[in-house]
Amino acid sequence: MSFADIAVPAPFYPSDTVFTYRIPESLEESLSVGSLVKVSFGKRLSWGVVTHIHHAPLKEGIKTKDVDSLILPEPIFSEKRLRFLQSLSAHYVYPIGLVMESAIPTPLRNGSPRTLRYTVPELLPALRIEPSATQLNDEQRTAVKSISQKKGVHLLWGLTGSGKTEVYLKLIEEVLERGEGALVLVPEISLTPLLTERFEKRFPDQVALFHSAQSPKKIREAWFEVWTGQKRIALGARSALFAPLKNPGIVVVDEEHDGSYKQEEGFRYNARDAAIRFAKHFSCTCVLGSATPSAEALALVDSGEASVSVLRKRAVESASLPKLSLIDLRLNLPQEIKIPHVEIKDRFEAPRAPGDFFLSPQLQLAIDETLKAKEQCILFINRRGVGSQKLCRSCGFVHECPNCAVKLTPHSHHLACHYCGYSIIEPDHCPSCSSPHPFLQVGTGTEGVEEALSLHFPSARVLRMDRDTIANKNDLEKTLNAFSSGEADILVGTQMVAKGHDFPKVTLVGILLADMGMNVPDFRANERSLQLLMQVSGRAGRSKSPGRVLVQTFQPEHPVFQHLQAEDPMESYKRFLSEEMIKRKLLNYPPYASLALLRLDGLVEDRVQEASRFVAHTLNRAKAPGLQVLGPTPSPISKLRGRHRRQILIKSQSKEVFEQTLHWLLQGWNKGHCEKKYKTRLLVDVDPVQMM
**Cβ proximity to Zn ion, 323 vs 467, nearer residue:** 467
Q: Which of 50, 46, 42, 47 minimizes the C-alpha distance to 22?
A: 50
Are 453 and 490 in contact by the 8 Å Cβ rule? The answer is yes
* Calpha distance 437→450 (Å, rounded): 25
Q: How near is the Cβ of 464 to Zn ion at its closest, in Å?
A: 23
Asked whether the bond before 632 is cis by omega within 30 degrees of 0, the reply is yes
* Calpha distance 159→170 (Å, rounded): 18
How many CA within 13 A on the CB side of residue 655? 7
**Cβ proximity to Zn ion, 435 vs 454, nearer residue:** 435
* Calpha distance 644→392 (Å, rounded): 27
Q: How near is the Cβ of 642 to Zn ion at its closest, in Å?
A: 9
Q: How near is the Cβ of 484 to Zn ion at its closest, in Å?
A: 36
Question: In a 3-state reduction of DSSP, which class is residue 329?
Answer: helix
Amino acid at 225: E
Q: How near is the Cβ of 419 to Zn ion at its closest, in Å?
A: 5
**Cβ proximity to Zn ion, 109 vs 390, nearer residue:** 390
Q: How near is the Cβ of 395 to Zn ion at its closest, in Å?
A: 3
**Cβ proximity to Zn ion, 200 vs 468, nearer residue:** 468
Distances (CA, A) of 533 to 224, 443, 548: 40, 19, 13
**Cβ proximity to Zn ion, 213 vs 520, nearer residue:** 520
Strand partners, 599: 647, 683
Q: How near is the Cβ of 416 to Zn ion at its closest, in Å?
A: 9
Buried b (16+ CB within 10 A) or exposed e, 119-154: eeeeeeeeeeeeeeeeebbebbeebbeebbeebbbb
Buried b (16+ CB within 10 A) or exposed e, 408-428: bbbbeeebbbbbeebeeeeee
DSSP symbols for 67-82 = EEEESSSS-SS-HHHH
Question: In a 3-state reduction of DSSP, which class is residue 142?
Answer: helix
Q: How near is the Cβ of 437 to Zn ion at its closest, in Å?
A: 8
CA 67 to centroid of chain Cα atoms = 39
**Cβ proximity to Zn ion, 183 vs 406, nearer residue:** 406
> For 602-649, what is the HEC assignment?
ECCHHHHHHHHHHHHHHHHHHCCCCCEEEEEEEEEEEEECCEEEEEEE
Q: How near is the Cβ of 387 to Zn ion at its closest, in Å?
A: 17
Q: How near is the Cβ of 605 to Zn ion at its closest, in Å?
A: 17
Q: How near is the Cβ of 519 to Zn ion at its closest, in Å?
A: 21
**Cβ proximity to Zn ion, 416 vs 506, nearer residue:** 416
* Calpha distance 264→102 (Å, rounded): 13
* Calpha distance 512→554 (Å, rounded): 11
* Calpha distance 640→522 (Å, rounded): 18
* Calpha distance 671→564 (Å, rounded): 51
Q: Which of 601, 617, 367 minimizes the C-alpha distance to 491?
A: 367
Q: How near is the Cβ of 397 to Zn ion at its closest, in Å?
A: 4
Q: Which of 676, 683, 666 minimizes the C-alpha distance to 619?
A: 666
**Cβ proximity to Zn ion, 422 vs 592, nearer residue:** 422
Q: How near is the Cβ of 417 to Zn ion at its closest, in Å?
A: 3
* Calpha distance 680→664 (Å, rounded): 18
**Cβ proximity to Zn ion, 269 vs 439, nearer residue:** 439
Q: How near is the Cβ of 511 to Zn ion at its closest, in Å?
A: 28
Q: Which of 449, 428, 424 minimizes the C-alpha distance to 439?
A: 428
Interface residue list for Zn ion (CB under 5 A): 392, 394-395, 397, 401, 403-404, 417, 419-420, 422, 430, 432-433, 435
- Contact residues for 581 (Cβ-Cβ < 8 A; gap 6+): 295, 298, 299, 591, 592
Q: How near is the Cβ of 405 to Zn ion at its closest, in Å?
A: 9
Distances (CA, A) of 631 to 609, 624, 649: 11, 16, 7
